[in-house]
């Protein structure tokens, strides 16, 4: 089997992808600077991978890690809208410059395919639903701008240099190992971690904003399908479930699972947040054969089970 480089492999989605690639018999090299990833996410497979602690913005680290790789899965990023609003230069350096350096390294190393983890934030807050890849992008935050710019670089490297690339526009990925501790934590881990402790969840806005939440196994499957697909040349496809749910409805579902009656604390809307999001999946199905395998309700139940088990382990020190 081939050698796969996974940037951000110690992170949430990356650590799930690493396990899948190992299960399929691939050799796996991980590049991570541990700014948001955690070594504990790879503890079970540490002896089966090559782990390089370094930054995608370091040309020498990027070149070393791309050498000999057949496929690069580029997941490393500063993945937070609020943080990007606070630190826009940091977002640009990590998400744009870092991606460009990695693309150059991949081209020079003769990598066959570059699979980029893009973001639905590129669509912005346009009222049209579902979001279709042919829509003009309208990014609202520095994060969204940076992820979109990296998409353009991927497409450019396909057309100018012949490097096969594809950009997977994720819609609100969630699941086990998603970190709830950050001040910029995503909605579901933030809700679940508080509610398990009996604390009220915090919603920014009125809670009627909706998202196309996508369980992490679907994102992993999309990456694997992108690796296997016939020749690619800079395509962009949505990765989601094709269904949406409001934040208020999610809190209600978590209450049902936990047997609680916790009501949200509503805070002002944060700059850069979009109101509604829903993905069209036709292009993903046509291009790489993607269909969601785990829908939201099942994904939420799996996630809750993991977070409850994790909380128990932490409480008992096991």
Q: Average pLDDT for residues 275-304, to the nearest whole number?
A: 96
CB count within 10 Å of CB 206 equals: 12
Give me the pLDDT at residue 175, please.
94
| Segment 177-183 long-range contacts (CB within 8 Å, at least 24 positions apart) | 177/12, 177/15, 177/16, 177/41, 177/306, 178/12, 178/216, 178/303, 179/12, 179/36, 179/38, 180/307, 182/36, 182/80, 183/82
Per-residue model confidence as pLDDT tens digits over 126-167: 889 999 999 999 999 999 999 999 999 999 999 999 999 999
Give me the pLDDT at residue 80, please.
86
Give the CATH number of the domain where residue 237 resides.
Answer: 3.40.50.720
Q: Which two tokens stand for residue 89?
A: 């230069």
Residue 39 counted as domain residue = yes
Residue 116 counted as domain residue = yes
Residue 208 counted as domain residue = no
Residue 22 counted as domain residue = yes
- Model confidence at 318, pLDDT cuts 50, 70, 90, reads low
Per-residue model confidence as pLDDT tens digits over 219-274: 999 999 999 999 999 999 999 999 999 999 999 999 999 999 999 999 999 887 88
Whether the Cβ atoms of residue 57 and residue 78 lie closer than 8 Å to each other: no
Provide the domain count of the chain: 1
Residue 235 counted as domain residue = yes
Domain that holds residue 66: 3-173+216-242+279-294
Residue 198 counted as domain residue = no
Out of 45-59, 83-97, 182-196, 249-263, pick the least confident.
Answer: 182-196
Residue 251 counted as domain residue = no
Per-residue model confidence as pLDDT tens digits over 16-57: 999 999 999 999 999 999 999 999 999 999 999 999 999 999
- Model confidence at 171, pLDDT cuts 50, 70, 90, reads very high
Residue 52 counted as domain residue = yes
Catalytic residue numbers? 143
Whether the Cβ atoms of residue 239 and residue 219 lie closer than 8 Å to each other: yes
Nearest to 36 by CA among 192, 179, 183, 188: 179
Mapped onto helix, strand or coil, the DSSP state of residue 219 is: helix
């Amino acid at each position: 089997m081939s050698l796969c480089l996974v940037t951000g492999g110690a992170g949430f989605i990356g650590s799930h992808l690493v396990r899948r690639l190992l299960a399929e018999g691939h050799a796996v090299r991980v590049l991570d600077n541990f700014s948001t990833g955690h070594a504990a996410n790879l503890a079970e497979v540490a002896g089966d991978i090559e782990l390089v602690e370094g930054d995608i913005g370091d040309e020498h680290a990027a070149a070393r890690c791309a050498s000999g790789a057949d496929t690069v899965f580029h997941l490393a990023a500063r993945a937070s809208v609020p943080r990007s609003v606070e630190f826009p230069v940091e977002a640009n350096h990590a998400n744009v410059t870092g991606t460009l350096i990695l693309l150059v390294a991949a081209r020079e190393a003769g990598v066959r395919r570059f699979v980029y983890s893009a973001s639905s934030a590129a669509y912005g807050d346009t009222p049209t639903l579902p979001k279709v890849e042919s829509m003009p992008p309208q990014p609202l935050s520095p994060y969204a701008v940076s992820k979109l710019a990296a998409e353009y670089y991927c497409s450019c490297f396909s057309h100018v240099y012949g490097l096969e690339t594809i950009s997977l526009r994720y819609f609100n990925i969630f699941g086990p190992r998603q970190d709830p501790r950050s001040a910029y934590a995503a909605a579901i881990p933030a809700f679940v971690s508080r509610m398990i402790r009996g604390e009220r969840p915090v919603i920014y806005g009125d809670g009627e904003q909706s998202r196309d939440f996508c369980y992490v196994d679907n994102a992993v499957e999309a990456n694997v399908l992108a690796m296997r697909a016939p020749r690619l040349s800079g395509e962009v496809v949505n990765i989601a479930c094709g269904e949406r749910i409001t934040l208020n409805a999610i809190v209600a579902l978590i209450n049902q699972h936990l047997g609680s009656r916790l009501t949200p604390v509503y805070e002002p809307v944060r700059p850069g947040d979009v109101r509604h999001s829903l993905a069209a999946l036709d292009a993903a199905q046509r291009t790489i054969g993607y269909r969601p395998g785990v829908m939201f309700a099942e994904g939420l139940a799996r996630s809750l089970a993991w977070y409850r088990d994790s909380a128990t382990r932490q409480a008992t020190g096991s």
